[in-house]
Amino acid sequence: MATLLSALEVQVRRHLIEATASYWTSAELIDILNLGVKDLWRDIVDLKQEHFLTVDDTNVTLAADTATLTNVPGNVHKVYLIEPRDITTNSTNYGLVFKPMDYNHPTFQSARSRSDIDPSNDIIYYAITGQGGPVGVPTIRVAPQVNSAVNLTFSYVPILAALTAASDNPIPGESDQALIAWTVAFARAKEQEDRSPDASWMVVYATEKQHLLQSLGVRQLQEPSYAEAMFEGYW
């Protein structure tokens, strides 16, 4: 079960020896937790993006004689897979294969002029030319255009939304301890003249992060092999 950020804040305060907000406000600690979530999220997406995979099999379509997809979600970070929604032998579009391609690539530009589409066995190239998330819905251009509308299953990695105290920790696996260590480290920075995070807690964070990534089946980060034994008593 996912942990609320407010519950993580309670555990952070235990390590800061401040049970109720005084020197550190709740807003400060939740902001730091957000940064920790983003740091873990980026590494997981880069190494194994399917952990955050979202599938829209209801809204996205490619209309006939149209160069862009319609009803694309507005929070797209990365497109994972596009495929015809009704993949059956009775569907006229079951053989279409969608492949990513840079918009300026000669293959994409050449495909824009094609009109001899075989919906049972053809390649549609797509290129993302707009921004997603807070900036706006991404524009996904296709080439060549199809002669009849195609309903699509659109699999993508969404942009991570800003979290509040009432939000669940969205990171899969055993990530709570990593986020606690991150937050304590950067909260302690407020006490430092140079505002640098606490070095010992950052080592704890690196160790917990390594364990998390290993448990999720991604490649090992090159962190000190001695860190685990040093900080077993932190929890």
Cα gap 175→75, rounded to integer Å: 24
Q: Within this chain, do residues 142 and 188 fall inside the same structural domain, yes or no?
A: no
- Tokens of residue 66, six digits: 């149209």
**Token duo for residue 114:** 């094609």
User: Is the separation of the CB atoms in 186 and 21 below 8 Å?
Assistant: no
- Pair (174, 100) in one structural domain: no
Which element (helix H / strand E) includes 214?
helix 199-215
Please tell me whether residues 71 and 148 are part of one structural domain: yes
d(CA 203, CA 201): 5
DSSP track, 105-142? SHHHHHHTT-----TTSEEEEEEE-S--GGG-PPPEEE
- Containing domain of residue 219, as a range? 5-50+161-234
Q: Are residues 91 and 153 in the same domain?
A: yes
How many domains are contained in the chain? 2
Encode burial over 108-133: b for 16+ CB neighbours within 10 A, e otherwise. Answer: beebeeeeebebeebbbbbbbeeebb
- Distance linking the first and last C-alpha atoms of the chain: 20
Same domain, 116 and 143: yes
140 plus 56 within the same structural domain? yes
Enter the pTM of the model: 0.79
Domain stops at, among 158, 182, 216: 158
From first to last of its 235 residues, the chain has per-residue pLDDT tens of 679 999 999 999 999 999 999 999 999 999 999 999 999 999 998 888 888 999 999 999 999 999 999 999 988 888 999 999 876 655 566 678 999 999 999 999 999 998 878 777 789 999 988 766 555 678 999 999 998 889 999 999 998 888 998 999 998 778 999 999 999 999 999 998 889 999 999 999 999 999 999 888 744 444 443 333 333 444 5
